[in-house]
Amino acid sequence: MIFLARTKYTSFPYIQKYITSCLTFYSRYISFTAPHPFLENTQLLMMNNPTIKTAIVAFGAAGKFMHAPFLKVLPQYYDIIAVLERHKEESKELFPNAKIVRSMDELLAIEELELVIITTPNDTHFPYAKQSLLAGKHVVVDKPFTITSADAFELIELSKQANKVISVFQNRRYVSDFLTIKRLLHNKLLGDIHEYEAHYDRYRPEAKPNAWREEPEPAAAFCMILVRT
C-alpha cells in the first residue's frame, strides 16, 4: 500500500495553525519527564533562574516563523532579551523589550545571556555556534547542524569541554501532519504500510535573485535543508 500525503506551507497563518503541536519541541527543554539531551542541564538552569535568558540570531524566515512564535508563547520559560538583526528591527513587534544588536560580538557581550538560538544561513552555523560555546552560552542550531561532520564533532566536543548544551532544532518532528501519520502507522489504521511518500509541491524554474539557498555553493544547497527530515 502507498500512502500519499501532500502538505503546503501557506505563510504565517499555517504556522499559527500548528503552533500547538510544535510547542512540544521547546517545551521539552523544560519538561522534567521528556527524554531530551537538553534536559539535565536545563533542569539545573531552571533551578537557579525562573526563565532562560535567550537570544535569537537573525530574524529571517527561520527566526521569524520557526522559532519566534513558539518562544513568544512560552514566556514562563524563555525570556527573549536580545535579537541580532543586521539592519532592521522587525523583532520589536513580537519582543518589544528585547535589545536589538548588530553583531555576534555585541550579542555575546551580554553577560546575562544564557541561550543562543542560531537561525542564520547554513555556512554560519558552525562559526556562530563555536563562538557562542566559547563565550559560555548554551546553543540551539537550526538545521542543518553543520556543513561537515568534522565541524559537528568539533562542536559536540567543545560543548562537553564547556559543560554547555548544544542541540539541533528539528520542528518537522512535532508538526501536526507528521504526528498524525505517526499515529496512523502506530495504530495500524491503514493496515501494514510498505511505502510512504510525502510532497512539498512547488515549482519555480528560475532562480530567486539574492537567495542564499539557491546559490551554487555546498553550504547553500537546498537539498541539505530538505534531506534532514
Residue with cell 557562542: 132
b or e along 54-91 (b: 16 or more beta carbons within 10 Å of the residue's beta carbon)? bbbbbbbebbbbbbbbbbeebeebbbbbbbbbeeeeeb
Predicted local confidence at residue 27, as pLDDT: 41
Catalogue the E-assigned strands of the chain: 2-6, 52-57, 78-84, 99-101, 115-118, 138-142, 166-169, 195-199
| 116 and 214 assigned to the same domain | no
| 88 and 113 assigned to the same domain | yes
Would residue 29 be called left, alpha or beta, if left means φ above 0 and alpha means ψ between -120 and 50 degrees? alpha
| 72 and 134 assigned to the same domain | yes
Predicted local confidence at residue 90, as pLDDT: 95
Total domains in the chain come to 2
| 17 and 75 assigned to the same domain | yes
| 128 and 193 assigned to the same domain | no
Per-residue pLDDT of the chain (229 residues), as tens digits, is: 233 333 333 333 333 333 333 343 344 333 333 333 344 445 555 555 678 999 999 999 889 988 999 899 889 999 999 999 999 999 999 999 999 999 999 999 999 999 999 999 889 999 999 999 999 999 999 988 998 999 999 999 999 999 999 999 876 777 788 888 889 889 998 898 888 887 777 777 777 777 766 666 666 655 555 444 4
- How far is the C-alpha of 106 from the C-alpha of 120, rounded, in Å? 16
Q: What is the dihedral of CA 101, 74, 96, 130, to 10 degrees?
A: 0
Instruction: List the domain range (segments joined by +) for residue 49.
Output: 12-171
DSSP 121: -
| 106 and 38 assigned to the same domain | yes
Predicted local confidence at residue 32, as pLDDT: 31
Residue with cell 559543560: 163
**3-class DSSP assignment, residue 195:** strand
Half-sphere exposure of 91 (CA within 13 A, CB side): 31
Predicted local confidence at residue 196, as pLDDT: 83
| 97 and 134 assigned to the same domain | yes
Q: Is the pTM higher than 0.75? A: no
| 28 and 123 assigned to the same domain | yes
Assign residue 120 the CATH number of its domain.
Answer: 3.40.50.720
| 52 and 122 assigned to the same domain | yes
Largest CA distance in the chain: 56
| 111 and 215 assigned to the same domain | no
| 55 and 118 assigned to the same domain | yes
Predicted local confidence at residue 221, as pLDDT: 54
| 130 and 184 assigned to the same domain | no
Q: What nine digits make up the cell of 44?
A: 539545573
